[in-house]
Chain A
Amino acid sequence: MNFSAVLTWLTFTPLIGAVAILLSPKNEARIHRWVAVAFSGLAFLLSLWVLLQFDPSNPGIQFGENYPWIATFNIFYHLGVDGISLPLVILTTLLSLISIIASFGIDRRTKEYFFWFLMLEAGMVGLFLSLDLFLFYIFWEVSLVPMYFLIGIWGGPQKEYAAVKFFLFTLFGSVFMLLSMLALYFASGTGAAGSERTLDLIRLAEIAGKGGLHLTIPAMLVFLGFFVAFAIKVPAFPFHTWLPLAHVEAPTPVSVILAGVLLKMGAYGLLRISFPILPEATKMFIPVLIVIATINIIYGAFCAMAQKDMKRMVAYSSINHMGYCLLGMCAIMGNPNAAHAGIVGSVFQMVNHGLITGSLFLIVGVIYDRTHVRDIDAFGGLASQVPIFAGIMIIQVLGSMGLPGLAGFVSEFLCFLGGFGGNFDGYNLQIWAGISIVGIVITAAFFLRMIKLVLLGEFNLKWGGQMPDLTARELVTLVPLVVLTVVLGIFPGLALDLMNSTADRLIQIVTLKPF
């Protein structure tokens, strides 16, 4: 079975759902919920179909769709997946479906809520699939607007401030991406026949590989333009300040998407755009990037440790976990084996962080829904009251700490493996990787403290009768994530096999070796 426009359908299925919701009656929350589930479920099935048909041994673009769009600017509607984007696409559709199910508790202005949610899903899926910078930028912004409303309308007490801050930060980054994008566009050709300008990512990487990019401004500036946009999204230190606020104010399902998918857009952008198209600048920038990664890891972990609010704690742990992801990427210029481990580890870390941190937000949400408190000190002894919940929470917290046997361990291990082998041209990355190891200990410290304070010890009688165990709906949202965390921890090959060949190809493009 094969149908050629599967990626278009995958991108636009949520969008069709969004329009359907817009046309539905205003006060029928049930209709809105089930339409949203139906369309995001359909998108998830489509992405699974792509996974089944995907050929992991092929490092190139698969399911490509390439049509002229704005012919006067030589801009194409170019979609495709490879081993790096496919895991993220599946992560997106899975987490969207789960978050939509987790959103059944939303009962205020459901029509708008599910409309924005499906728009968000379309934007995220489209971003990971698009292979033309113009399209990429459009999806980048399309995913920004719904998030603004989701935080601003359904968020906590400081929702407006959080929404505006989130939007301002991201917009600030993305306008610089726009400039860099234009600089690449004009550098890619003269505009005459045979040397058309292009924004096609594959073409740009090819042109760059042949030394055909004639930038009029220093390549480093162009790189920085992209980097600011991506670093804000990741978020990399010092651009991370929007994240804790946005997470705390956002409703639980939105936090799941924010941590699970939106942060990956930045890291994905680095791998997809900055590295292959500007390899020289990348090489110059890696010594800085590794420092940023280390700060993210250590500083994020310490910040998390200092939090009393559990949601805030998980948010800061995201900064720490994305630090591992950046650390893995830094290995790309090192020896080929380490580079491979680093890149694969980095992509795998994105997926695992989505699964694990996503479920941690759901777990905090479960507690918050019952008690309207997220204070880490307010609980105790919950394990005796809600054993199923406690079991799930312990698995996911241990996964987040990087305990062997769970998915987080494999990817963090690979990232460190990359970091230790990433030396090149006299730059010593080992030191930074070594310092970063401390981050793991700190992470363990605050997560274990969380388990101790929330689950163990004496039960706080204040919550007596208020803490029933997980409902069926909560189980539906949590169990798939837990199962995946365990399965990918024991059989990481399931995910890594998808990425291997594409990662090798990426490394070859970036290090300018013939493929």
Chain B
Amino acid sequence: MKNIVLLFPEIFLTFWAIFILLWGSFYPQGRKSFIYLSLFGLLVTLISFLPLYFLGFLPWAEYWGVDPLQKVGGWIQYPLVSRMISVDSMSVFFKLAVLMCGILVFLISIDYEEFLPIPMAVYSFLLLISTVGMMILVGSIDFLLAVIALELSGIPLFILIGFILKKGIGTEGAIKFFLVSTFSTGLLLLGISYYYGYFGTTNLVSLLSLGRSPDLGLSLTLILLLAGFGFKIAVVPFHMWAPDAYEAAPTPVTAFLSVAPKVATLGFLLRVFYNHQALRLNYILAALAAITMTVGNIGALKQDNVKRLMAYSSIAQIGYFLAAFSAVGGLNGMGSQALLLYVFIYVFMNLGIFTGLVIVSNQTGEENVPAFRGLAQKSLGLSFLMMVFLLALTGIPPLSGFVGKFAILGSLLKSQGLLWLAILMVLNSVVSFYYYFRIAQEMFFKDAEPASKPLQFPPALCASMAIAFALTFLVGIFPNSLINWIRTLLGS
């Protein structure tokens, strides 16, 4: 474990979470302080990536007892920590994305109305531990570690979904999520046991260095694994739990659920299946992408609850991710560039919507689409910001969502035989306009009803809004440096 220093961010965050839990047992009534502490911990973790990221450029890498950089396969590989976990440029990217999700979600949590009477130590601990689990997941190069990391990130989420006890649906959603999650873990373990039967190890490297095309048995194994992970990110036909869990969870948790687990799982999937062409999975992935985006978009059309709507919307977005995935074409191909790009973009535009939802539901106490009625007359600024995120999700330029879709469509057109998926994807974008803009219609076209209390803009929500807006807007207009960065990470 010579290079253990490379895992400093995860280790620090774990200890910080435990520290917060212990602190909370002494001051059980504390609220905001725990969230500030968590934010501080997340920021430190984020900053601790800086030396890691620049490690290759620092002359004193030896000082830390770390071997120099090397390039393995497509991505820049930091020295091996163990045979279970790898710290490389790709995992660093996904870890940063997960951390950003964590930071924004904590910002949203501070002033969420329903949380006000609740002590937040446990909440902070669970969210932090879940984040750690995801950070480990994206670095795993062994299926066993991956399952442990998945559970580490999943189990806190069961509790978080049912965190507000007064709501009956909280329990239902949590139990649904729990059952589905357990079932999918079972599938995964079944797949892994077959995998072990094939290779005599649970290590990923043997799959990556597979010299031949897989036979029927191995294909079945891979499909089992794919299905297991598919449950976690709500790929159709394994998506049924998502709307209920999203609706049941407190809004900040929904926000977390809609980005972080997807980002992390996609990161791991990319590591496992990036050479899916050789594994003969590309058509299955393309078909899954097609079904997922279509079902998600059609399901969203009739939703009245914004959280359910966003659940279906995120199912559709997962479809777009899978589309990029099915076009990956090697690790430094356009597909994986598009995937990473869209991950970064998706996090911010989606969390922007949830920030707006928290502000609005704090005032109205409602979470359905009509809660946005007449928002433009109450606060033009907020409705413009919401509009920016909605437009970005629809994929209208010059916002970041368009750049992401442009890259995904580009990778689809570049690969052989995926034109149909590209056409389906743009048609889906047209459908998605309809339900995203139902919120816009409520905000702008309808007149406001008199409200019992004014809209409030606490600084934390403003900060989260500002971060989400700045990145959605800037990436839309100047995507060049982000794309360049991603290319460097992928070594292409």
Contact = CB atoms under 8 A, between A and B. Distances in A.
A175 B380 contact: no
Contacts of A284: none
B426 A111 contact: no
A112 interface: yes
B437 interface: yes
Contact of B423 (A109, A137, A159, A179): A179
Contact of A182 (B396, B410, B430, B479): B410
Contacts of A172: 430
- Point out which of B423, B430, B484 has the most chain A C-beta atoms below 10 A from its C-beta: B430
A186 B437 CA distance: 32
A416 B377 CA distance: 51
B427 interface: yes
Contact of B413 (A26, A109, A168, A186): A186
B437 A167 contact: yes
A141 B410 CA distance: 19
Q: Is the interface of A mostly helix, strand, loop or mixed?
A: helix
Contacts of B413: 179, 182-183, 186
Contacts of A69: 480
B433 A71 contact: no
B414 A186 contact: yes
A112 B480 contact: no
A427 interface: no
Interface in A60-102: 69-73
Interface stretch (A145-153, A250-258, A373-381): A145-153
B482 to A, nearest CB: 9
B487 to A, nearest CB: 7
Given A111-B380, A159-B445, A178 B409 contact: yes
B307 to A, nearest CB: 23
Interface in B211-234: none
A12 interface: no
A152 B480 contact: no
Given A145-B391, A185-B410, A152 B434 contact: no
Contacts of A71: 480, 484
Interface residues of B, number: 32
A138 B479 CA distance: 14
A72 B480 contact: yes
A171 B423 contact: no
Interface in A181-225: 182-183, 185-186, 217
B441 interface: yes
B409 A153 contact: no
Contact of B445 (A72, A145, A160, A178): A160
Contacts of A48: none
Contacts of A72: 480, 483-484, 487
Contacts of B391: 145
B397 interface: yes
Contact of B430 (A145, A148, A168): A168
Contact of A171 (B398, B430, B441, B480): B430
A141 B406 CA distance: 14
Given A138-B397, A149-B444, A186-B414, A175 B377 contact: no
A176 interface: yes
A149 B387 CA distance: 11
Contacts of B91: none
A179 B426 contact: yes
A164 interface: yes
A51 interface: no
Interface in B410-439: 410, 413-414, 419, 422-423, 426-427, 429-430, 433-434, 437
A217 B445 contact: no
B376 interface: yes
A112 B440 CA distance: 14
A142 interface: yes
B398 A217 contact: no
A137 B397 contact: yes
A168 to B, nearest CB: 7
Contact of A175 (B430, B437, B445, B479): B430
B409 A138 contact: no
A232 B104 CA distance: 41
Given A70-B479, A186-B414, A145 B441 contact: no
Interface in B395-413: 396-398, 402, 406, 409-410, 413
B444 A152 contact: yes
Interface string B25-52: 0000000000000000000000000000
B491 to A, nearest CB: 15
A148 B479 CA distance: 27
17 contacts: A69-B480, A111-B380, A112-B380, A138-B397, A142-B397, A145-B391, A152-B445, A153-B444, A160-B445, A164-B434, A171-B430, A178-B409, A179-B413, A179-B423, A182-B410, A183-B413, A185-B410
Interface of B: 376-377, 380, 384, 391, 396-398, 402, 406, 409-410, 413-414, 419, 422-423, 426-427, 429-430, 433-434, 437, 441, 444-445, 479-480, 483-484, 487
Given A71-B484, A112-B444, A164-B434, 16 more contacts: A70-B479, A72-B480, A72-B483, A109-B377, A112-B376, A138-B398, A138-B402, A141-B402, A142-B398, A159-B445, A171-B433, A172-B430, A178-B406, A179-B426, A182-B410, A186-B413
